[in-house]
């Protein structure tokens, strides 16, 4: 479910149009989506929802059209040569204050229209880099070509590893 799906369902269940949410929920993500109803929608802007945490699985050696598991595979390489040191260096490069270019299929608005809508309409989408903070990026376990990781980051960070995966 997307954030909009949740809001639509709440509007129907609660029989009100005044429902809002405090952040976009990625369709592949699981977790909590904070919502406000009626007068509670005014409180959403006062919540300190500036950090979030993800557990994720990175599959080395593959890149996709969406930089996640749902996209079509663009390229695959044998990840057997990717050393633990290379993984650690990649993680270090993506930790701290970094400039991130969100995926072209993200919900970022470009001239008032969602990037993913522009891509679906056949447009080439270029999203400028923006500052984000990755306060912790921890390798929990390595299972062959898969890395189980924990990422703690600022709001506005897109947790996608397509570029990291193909460069590793």
Which residues are annotated as catalytic?
26
Average pLDDT over residues 118-137: 91
Co-location of 90 and 70 in the same domain? yes
* pLDDT higher at 36 or 27: 36
Average pLDDT over residues 135-161: 89
Co-location of 129 and 151 in the same domain? yes
What pLDDT is attached to residue 28?
66
What pLDDT is attached to residue 59?
87
Co-location of 58 and 34 in the same domain? no
What pLDDT is attached to residue 98?
93
* Prediction pTM value: 0.74
What pLDDT is attached to residue 26?
66
CATH number of the domain residue 57 falls in: 3.30.2350.10
Co-location of 23 and 81 in the same domain? no
With a cut of 90, say whether residue 11 has pLDDT above it. yes
Co-location of 138 and 64 in the same domain? yes
| Structural domain containing residue 38 | 3-46
Residues whose CB is less than 8 angstroms from the CB of residue 105 and which lie 6 or more positions away in sequence, other chains included: 65, 66, 67, 71, 115, 116, 119
Co-location of 63 and 145 in the same domain? yes
Co-location of 25 and 71 in the same domain? no
Co-location of 42 and 60 in the same domain? no
Average pLDDT over residues 84-101: 93
Co-location of 60 and 97 in the same domain? yes
pLDDT band at 150 (very low <50, low <70, confident <90, very high): very high
* pLDDT higher at 66 or 153: 153
H, E, C per residue of the chain: CCHHHHHHHHHHHHCCCCEEECCCCCCCCCCCCCEEEHHHHHHHHHCCCCEEEEEEEEECCEEECCCCCCCCEEEECCHHHCCHHHHHHHHHHCCEEEEECCCCCCCCEECCEEHHHHHHCCCCCCCCCEEEEEEEEEEEEEECCEEEEEEEEECCCCCCCHHHHHHC
Co-location of 62 and 141 in the same domain? yes
Structurally, how many domains does the chain consist of?
2
pLDDT band at 39 (very low <50, low <70, confident <90, very high): very high
What pLDDT is attached to residue 65?
78
With a cut of 70, say whether residue 76 has pLDDT above it. yes
Co-location of 36 and 72 in the same domain? no
What pLDDT is attached to residue 47?
77
Co-location of 22 and 59 in the same domain? no
């Amino acid at each position: 479910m997307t954030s909009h799906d949740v809001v639509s369902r709440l509007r129907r269940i609660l029989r009100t149009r005044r429902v809002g949410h405090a952040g976009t929920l990625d369709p592949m993500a699981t977790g909590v989506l904070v919502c406000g109803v009626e007068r509670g929608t005014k409180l959403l802007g006062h919540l300190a929802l500036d950090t979030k945490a993800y557990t994720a699985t990175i599959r080395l050696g593959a890149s996709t059209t969406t930089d996640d598991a749902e996209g079509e595979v663009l390229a695959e390489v044998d990840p057997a040569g990717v050393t633990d040191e290379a993984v650690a260096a990649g993680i270090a490069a993506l930790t701290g204050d970094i400039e991130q270019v969100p995926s072209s299929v993200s919900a970022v608005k470009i001239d008032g229209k969602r990037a993913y809508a522009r891509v679906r309409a056949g447009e080439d989408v270029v999203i400028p880099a923006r500052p984000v903070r990755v306060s912790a990026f921890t390798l929990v376990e390595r299972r062959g070509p898969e890395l189980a990781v924990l990422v703690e980051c600022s709001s506005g960070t897109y947790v996608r590893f397509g570029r990291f995966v193909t460069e590793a």
